[in-house]
Every structure is written in structure tokens, then in C-alpha cells.
Amino acid sequence: MSEVVNKAAAARQASYGLSKLDTEAKNAALNAVADALWEHRETLMEANQRDLEAADGMLQKGEITGAMIKRMALNTSKVQGIVDMVKSVASLNDPVGKTEYARELDEGLDLFRVTSPLGVVAVIFESRPDALVQIASLCLKSGNSVLLKGGSEARHSNRKLYTIIKEATGDLPDGWIQIMEVRDEVTKLLELDAYVDLIIPRGSNEFVRYIQNNTRIPVLGHADGVCHIYVDSEADLDMAVKVCLDAKIQYPSVCNAVDTILVHEDIAKGFIAPMVETLLDKAVEVRGGEQVLEIIKEGVKAATDDDWGHEYLDYIVALKIVPDADEAITHINGYGSHHTDAILTGNAETAVYFIDSVDSANVFWNASTRFADGYRYGLGSEVGISTGKIHARGPSGLEGLTIYRYILRGDGHIVADYVGDGAKKYTHRSIDEKW
């Protein structure tokens, strides 16, 4: 058996014990992790320093960017932030063991639907060391074993973090946290659907798509975040310029930044000139459709077919004029990635029509697409944003790491009594009882 199979099997075994832990035990473990991280901050920063030294060489070879190094670097204040984050996870409500509903099937035969952990979650994440701690904390809180694979450029930091967490949680079922350090392990992991219940890939579109295309294990996440804003004929144009600018430049390299702005033809002349001026002023490249170029040529590039449905992750935006909301909806459902799309309008009827017609995880009315985020939604902490429609959709927090099970408590009840002549009848009555 290869090593990753052993790790996954151990994680599965540990998951049976982990799912039984009560909230106090999980919170005690989280607080022990927080304390240990602070206690070992010096050796942690030493390990991080080794990664940073190696990264310098990678930077010169162009294998890594300066921004990546900046995200990777730890200092005392960043460690404090990580410690605070772990404590904040301890303070979240326990998502496990909640009775979603209780129903009497017949006298003395009571059904409970109770939330439970998934079991084993595998997370492949970017090169921010705090990602490892965040994911491990959320899995612990939700009673899941976790298999972690971070970027190889942060391997010393990740190994140290893993060791600190593992040692601080010695009271938990052995094997609940596992680290993978070789890319080959991920390839093998993709086959282990007997041991792994969910994969959460965080990384480039290509990487997420590779994972989705090569495993039978359910995947939570999104490959593309192609976001649209439709500026309706009844939009407030000042608001529209402000919201579109925020959606584009507040943080252009993330999935919920806007990529294509669709403009109703009736307001195109009044909107496009100030919008383009504002965008160019902020050094955003504007790619306009044919009709846009008829209105304004200066500074605007011609959009090609490749621009529709393109996720830029950069200071670039595409601009297109549409005859009506229906055309905007068709464009969005056809070219979009079902992540986040917005309408700007003062007309409530048009807004509702748009919202009911756009098949996306997040549909906004008069607000920036950048609000699509677990923190902003108040979910506590986010494990990912899902564009799938199964299980969890949109920003997903602890709830995305749980499922439910049915518990039936009887007194020797048998099905034969409810069948045929003189059959007993089910009462199917809601009861106010917790499991």
C-alpha cells in the first residue's frame, strides 16, 4: 500500500472517533492548538524563514511571484492573527449533533434527523500558511478528519504547523490530521473514494478543473468565477459607475471581481462615457463590443468572442450593449460560470425577473459582486465558494462540512404491522424533541 492510502485509511478510522466528540472536547483541542502555535512561534518563524530563503531562488528563476512570497511570510503579528482565527473557530456554534427535525412515525417510534460530520475531507490549498491552520480548525470543529496538501514552496512552514497541531491535539483520535507533501500523493488521493468524502481544491482554474475531471470523490469549489453586472435602463448611473468600479478594482485578482459589464442600449450613451473614463483613470483595460466602439473609441480595445465568459483576474473588463434584460440573462446563463452576477436597476419588477432567471449561486441587486464571500455573508469562516448545485452552493462555511443522518428510536416496531389488512397507520406528527 502506498503511503497516501495509509494516511487516508488512518484518517477514515480516526473519523469514527472524531464524530463522537462533544463540543467541549473540540473547543478544548482548538484552544490547545491556539496556545501551542503561540508558544512555538519562534520555531515556526524559523521554518518559515527556510521557505523564504528557498523562495528567493525560485523568484529569480521566475517560479514564484513577489506577491506569493509576501503572502507566505510569517511574522509575530501574522502568527497572532492565526492564533486569533483558531480561537474564533472555537467560538463558532458546533455544526454537529443538531436535531434538524423530529417526527413521530407512530406511538413510540420517533425519527430524528441529526447533523453529522462528512468523515474525511481533503483540502489542497494555496501557499498561505494560515490556510492550513484555518482548514484544520474548521475540520476539527465540524468533527472531520483532514488530509492537507499545501504548496511545496511553503513546505517547511506547513510541516511545522502540522506538527504543532498534531502534538497539541494528542487527545484526539490518532490520525485525524494528515499532511501530504508530494504531488504524486494528490494523484493517488483522487482514487481513494472509499476513504475520502470530499475534496476542496483551492488554486488556479486549471488545477480545480483537473481535480474535478479526475476523481469520483465529490469536489466542493469552483473552477471559474466569471462575474457579470447588468446595468439596466432604469439604473442610477452614478451608482452604476461606483458599483462597477468597486466590482472591478477593489481586488481584481479574485473570483468575485466583475469580468463583463452588460449595458442596456437605452442608457448606453449616458453610462458608457463616464464608466470608461473612470476605468481608464484607474488603469483598467476596457474591451468593448461593436456597439460600444460606436459610442466611444478612444482608449477602448475591440472585444473578441474570447472575451465573453473570460475570467480576467486582472485590471481588464469587457463591455457589451444589450437590447434588454432578456438578452443580458441569456448572455449570463450562456457565458457565465454560475458564480456571482448582479443587476443594477431602480425597477423592482425587472430586478425580480433577472434574479429569478439567472442561474447563479449568488445573484445581487444594486450591490457589488465583491460581496460574495463567507466572511461578508457572516458565515463565520469560509472553506470555499461552490458553483456546483449539489450539497453546498455559494460561499460555504462549517455547514458545508456536514451532512445529516436519520436516527429512529422504537420499541420493537416492525414494518409488517403497517401493511395489509388491519394495518396500523403512521401518525407522521412533528415532535418538539432533540435527539
> Which residues from 9-68 bind its own copies, rule CB under 8 A?
15-16, 19-20
Q: Which stretch binds its own copies (CB under 8 A): 50-58, 145-153, 265-273, 369-377?
A: 369-377
Q: What secondary structure letter does DSSP report for 170?
A: T
**If binding is defined by CB under 8 A, does position 295 make contact with its own copies?**
no
List, as one string, the DSSP characters of 237-294: HHHHHHHHHHHHHSSTTSTTSEEEEEEEHHHHHHHHHHHHHHHHHTT-EEEE-HHHHH
Q: How many Cα neighbours within 13 Å face the side chain of 406?
A: 8
| 407: CB partners within 8 A, 6+ apart | 111, 112, 113, 114, 435
Which of 35, 58, 242, 295 binds its own copies (CB under 8 A)? It is 242
Q: Which member of 56, 314, 356, 433 binds its own copies (CB under 8 A)? A: 356
274 or 410: whose CB is closer to its own copies?
A: 410
**Amino acid, res. 88:** S
**Distance between CA 15 and CA 24 in Å, rounded?**
17
Instruction: By CB under 8 A, name the one of 84, 426, 431, 434 that touches its own copies.
Output: 426
The yes or no reply on residue 415 touching its own copies (CB under 8 A) is yes
Q: How many residues at the interface with its own copies, by CB under 8 A? A: 73
Q: Are 287 and 307 in contact (CB under 8 A)?
A: yes
Cβ 70 to its own copies shortest distance, Å? 18
Tell me the closest approach of the beta carbon of residue 108 to its own copies, in angstroms.
9
Counting contacts by CB under 8 A, is residue 374 touching its own copies?
no
Three cell numbers, residue 359: 442561474
Residues within window 175-214 making contact with its own copies, judged by CB under 8 A = 197-198, 212-213
Nearer CB in complex with its own copies: 154/240: 240
Nearer to its own copies by Cβ, of 283 and 415: the residue is 415
Could you tell me the three cell numbers for 145? 478528519
Residue of 121, 130, 113 whose CA lies nearest to 398: 121
The position carrying cell 449595458 is: 263
Fill in the amino acid letter for 299.
Answer: G
| Residues between 124 and 183 that touch its own copies (CB under 8 A) | none
If the CB atoms of residues 158 and 350 are measured against its own copies, the closer one turns out to be 350
Comparing CB distances to its own copies, the nearer of 164 and 192 is 192
**Bridge-partner residues for 122, per DSSP?**
147, 199
Contact assessment for residue 137 and residue 32, using Cβ atoms and an 8 Å cutoff:
no
Residues 324-353 binding its own copies (CB under 8 A) are 329, 333, 344, 351
Q: Contact region for its own copies (CB under 8 A) — 44-52, 53-61, 67-75, 240-248? A: 240-248
Q: With contact defined as beta carbons under 8 Å apart, do 367 and 377 qualify?
A: no
122 or 179: whose CB is closer to its own copies? 122
DSSP letter, residue 212: H
Select the span of 42-50, 134-142, 286-294, 401-409 touching its own copies (CB under 8 A). Answer: 401-409
* Cα→Cα distances 281→8, 268, 292, 368, Å: 52, 19, 18, 19
389 binding its own copies? (CB under 8 A): yes
Q: Which is nearer to its own copies, 37 or 120 (CB)?
A: 120
Nearest approach, Cβ of 141 to its own copies (angstroms)? 17
Q: Using CB under 8 A, which residues numbered 88 to 117 contact its own copies?
A: 103, 105, 109, 111
> For its own copies, which residue of 39, 281, 290, 359 counts as binding (CB under 8 A)?
359
